[in-house]
Structure 1
């Protein structure tokens, strides 16, 4: 399909401050929601993975079939990817015995491999160049790997690393702040900064989610997982309704890694 056959606006949201706030809340909901199904409801990591992967595949199919940006559909798909990422990471690191370090290393390879394949196939991994179904498929595959990596990485630092949920969350928050400074004051590639930030928001959300619902003697606040999930979902819905939601630009540009 020719470039001019595509709409001027993307089916993906513009990357704004509101985008990042909702993204962090969505990743936190992914942690509490995934744990609600696998732990509180006692369905286990494998069953939880099956449930959320099925939901994710359905939503990705609907998202890819859409002809315009639909905020509720996009964010539902993101939330499904974070919940699937939570249960997949827990299944790999705990049920399969890979461990946090091994799981994080394996998933990092998957994320980088997805980005490299995407770049070699299409010449760019910029989200403003997601203008057809093939590119969008790469987008969702990369996002799902990044969501899974974030869960394993957050658990690794908080638990095995001995930093606790507050300590690990502080580190990820500081790294995100560093990326923001690079964005504001350096000519660093905007595409690279986007993907670095997108990946880091996931372990931040994972550690915040664990801090909310883990027992007090494990460093958490021992909030009810279903209640925490409901509050987070309500906050996301409120932000979607009140924070301006607009599609990002998808005007044709030279295919390169970033600017």
Structure 2
């Protein structure tokens, strides 16, 4: 019998390569998702590269960062958050590409990404028996983990735009959309008080909800006043968010999540 906490090189390990879920984790996560929106818009709109070129640029950066993350033997905070930011910027440009350039609309994009996210979680659980971040002890689990994150980040942009847009969506606006998704997070926090509610399900619910929340905040910062935003410079907003993430990553505790020890043959 071997421990499920076996590292990739065959040595026993107790720690995952992802951060423990703390208040600091969620604060940095929201900043990262907000940065994904402003940085994605900076490249596709302010630099006029367009959604396809922007998606290719960020996808290349994601591939490089993700390869380094998977090859790493332990948790590296700055590497982990670099991959998170890469997934959220790819998510922003890819969702905009699907919704706008490909013409499937916010509803079509949101439905497609919901289906991909659900299918990934189902395949992960069916093949490995758990979608818990405390069971990221194999290469396959890591791949499912990052696929789930990528689809959730992309869904967040499509869903956020659908909720906010007054012409092609629900018309909540950026402030109303942020309040809506913020209320959803409060429901998750309330459910956390019941021990019988799956902590894994609550984690993924919160992880998914923070993406459209960040998208709403990002759009509110850089969209024109006439569209309900503050019309701040995308460059300045993105720079401030990067600085804030770096500062918090240094000041707030960044420890690795502990792996569950489960006996396997």
TM-score, normalised relative to structure 1: 0.96
Report matched runs for 1:1-259 at 5 Å.
Answer: 2-3=2-3, 4=6, 5-159=11-165, 160-253=169-262
For 1:233 and 1:114, how far apart are their aligned partners in 2?
A: 30
Alpha-carbon displacement from aligned partner over 1:154-192 (angstroms, at most 9, x marks no partner):
000000111100001000000001100101245211111
In structure 2, C-alpha distance between the alignment counterparts of 1:37 and 1:133, rounded to whole Å: 32
Question: Which whole-Å CA distance do the structure 1 matches of 2:195 and 2:257 have between them?
Answer: 23
2:87 and 2:128 map into 1 onto residues whose CA distance is 23
The number of residues matched between the two structures is 255
Relative to its length, the structure with more helix (as a share) is 1
- Deviating more after overlay: 178-187 vs 115-124: 178-187
Q: Which runs of 5+ in 2 are unaligned?
A: none
Q: Secondary structure at the match of 2:171?
A: coil
Deviations 1:105-131 (A, max 9, x none): 000000000000000000000011001
RMSD: 1.4
Q: Tell me the CA shift for residue 2 of structure 1.
A: 4.9
Displacement of 1:216: 0.2
Q: After the TM superposition, which of the residue ranges 33-42 and 183-192 deviates more from structure 2?
A: 183-192
Unaligned 5+ runs, structure 1: none
Question: Cα deviations across residues 80-121 of structure 1 (Å, max 9, x unaligned)?
Answer: 000000000000000000100010000000000000000000
Q: What TM-score results when the alignment is normalised by the length of structure 2?
A: 0.94
CA distance in 2, matches of 1:49, 1:137: 20
